[in-house]
Structure formats: structure tokens, C-alpha cells
Amino acid sequence: MLFLYVRSTMDIRKSMLPPDQILADIKALKIQGATNVALAVLDALSKAIEEQPDISCFELTKLGEILAYARPTEPLAQNAVRYISAGCTEEATKRIAAYKTYIEKGKLTIPQIGVPLLSDGGTYLTLCHSSTTVKLFTAARAKGAYFSLYVAETRPRFQGRITAKELLDAGFDDVTMTVDDVAVSLIEGRIGKIDAVFIGADLINDKGFVNKIGSLAVTAAAKRKHIPVYVLTTLLKYDPTPFSPAMIETRNSEEIWKEAPDNLKFYSPAFDYVSYMSNVHVVCEDGVIPGKQVKKATNKHYPFVFDTGYDKYLHYGKSVYPLSRP
């Protein structure tokens, strides 16, 4: 049965356009960032419908799942598949457009909600790359707030460099890059003073959030110093399924040391799971809220996230993920 299932997904993957390339690019982080991954999945589904107008709901959903679960901590893409599967195939094209609108609206509104959190003359820390966080900083600067920014480089893929470059390109003149280990020292006040931390999230649920490795240490250090941590995220990243540490992918050892000595072991998790501490505030479509209100807010704005009626088409989800990973 498992053999037939895997065979069917491979057949679908080969028969529809170039999802192989999209899948490879997501895994290799050539397509990175929750929004970019979700949009790539949506575009692949649109093209599949265009090329095969008679595609079945099962086939369309399966294609979406293969791509959306290429990395398990991508609920923005996974919820897109869930949303589309409820109306496919008659309404699939409309639902793809609607979901893109949800994403775009969040990108516009969430930074504006967060602008009052930054003040003129402040010093703030961020890590990795979050397009929403960058938009927040640029929106605050556009409204006259001038502040200093520290950006942790975020090894081993150095996504913090993307953030730093985008800020410089946007006209910021007080951006400081730091190695990851210095971030906690900054928060501890040993090197200057940090007023708040602003980060994104790849996944949120009712108990915590997933973000790039280093987020847990930064959040815990900030709590000790009573420094707020603001997590900027759309509620579409809410994952209603139980979180498992097995969902945290580990990266290739060559990303750390290409010519490492033989028999040297590596442990390089890509993400941290961070419980909602008292200093964590979620900046989302519902405003600036504590973590304990995230589930309620998600159900208010996007109730389809919790609708299990869609699951008649979903066979590639987390319950079977370890067996059926592409």
C-alpha cells in the first residue's frame, strides 16, 4: 500500500510541469522564506490547472502537499493547500488568488501595526531574514523614527546578511552586523543596550513558535533582562497539528565545514522551537497580542485552518510525514 502511494505521488510529480525543480529549490533554500515558499507552491498549482484543466482534486492536492511539505515547518504553504483543497477543482483558481490576497494583505498591515513599537533613538536586534520585519523597519523610518539596528548573521546560511543588505539598500545608515554568539551579549548589556528584539516566525501554534536557530537563546536572554521580543507573523502560519521535535530539520554538515576531518559528527538544526515566554508578543493581523491568544485570533481571521473537513483529500500531512517524505 505504501509502495503504491509513493508511486502515485511520483507519477503526479513527473506529470505536472516542473515541480521537481521547485521541490529541489525549496529543499536547497534557493526558495527561502515562508512567503516565497507559499507563493511558489501556489504558482505551481496555478500552472497545473492551466496545463491540465481536468486535473482532479486529489491530484492537485497531492502536488501541493509534495511541495508544501518539502520542509515540515512551512504551515503558510501547507495551509494554502488545505484552503484550496476545500474548493477544488471548481473554485481552486479563485481560492489561489484569494490566498495570495491574504498573504499580501498581511504583508501590508502587520508592519503598520508594529510601527508604534519602535521609537526614535532606539536600538533593536533582529536575526535571520524576515521580509515582514524588514518592512516594519522601513515603515517606521518612513514615519520619521531614526534608530540603530543590530543584525545577527545567522549561520550557517547567513540569512542575516540578506536582512542587512536590504536595510542598507533602503537607506539605513546605522546597521551593525554581528556574529550569532554576540547577540546574547548585546542583550545582556555587555556591549551597548538593546531596547527590543524583532524577529519573524516560520510556524506558530498555541504554545510557541518556530524560528531560525538562535531565537531561543535570544528570547531567553531577553526575558532575563525584561526586554520585549516581538514576533512578526501572519496568522496563516498557525499549525493546528501537534508540534514534534522531529519536524526540526537538520542541515548538511558541509554548510558548516566543507573539508571537515573524517569521523567528525555534526549537529546543525535549522530552527528553534520557542515557548511563549512572558516577554514574547505576537504582532499579527489581530494586533499585538500575547502568545496565549494566537489560537483564538487565528480562528477569528482564518477559521479554515481548523476545518478538518478538508482532510479527506490530505494524505501527505504530518501524521504520515516520516514515511512519505518526498
- Report the C-alpha gap between 188 and 225 in whole angstroms: 7
Q: Which of 25, 180, 181, 202 is catalytic?
A: 202
Provide the CB-side half-sphere exposure for 78 (13 A, CA).
25
Q: What are the backbone angles phi and psi of residue 204, rounded to the nearest 5°?
A: -130, 150
- Report the C-alpha gap between 326 and 323 in whole angstroms: 9
How many CB atoms neighbour CB 60 within 10 A? 23
Contact assessment for residue 203 and residue 239, using Cβ atoms and an 8 Å cutoff: yes
CA angle 107, 151, 196 (to 5 degrees): 75
Contact assessment for residue 7 and residue 45, using Cβ atoms and an 8 Å cutoff: no
Residues 6+ apart with CB under 8 A from 122: 145, 147, 148, 195, 196
Going by C-alpha positions, the residue among 65, 99, 313, 42 that lies closest to residue 50 is 42
Q: Is 173 a catalytic residue?
A: no
Label residue 25 exposed, middle or buried (CB < 10 Å: 0-12, 13-18, 19+).
middle
Q: Which amino acid is at 270?
A: A
State the catalytic residues. Answer: 202
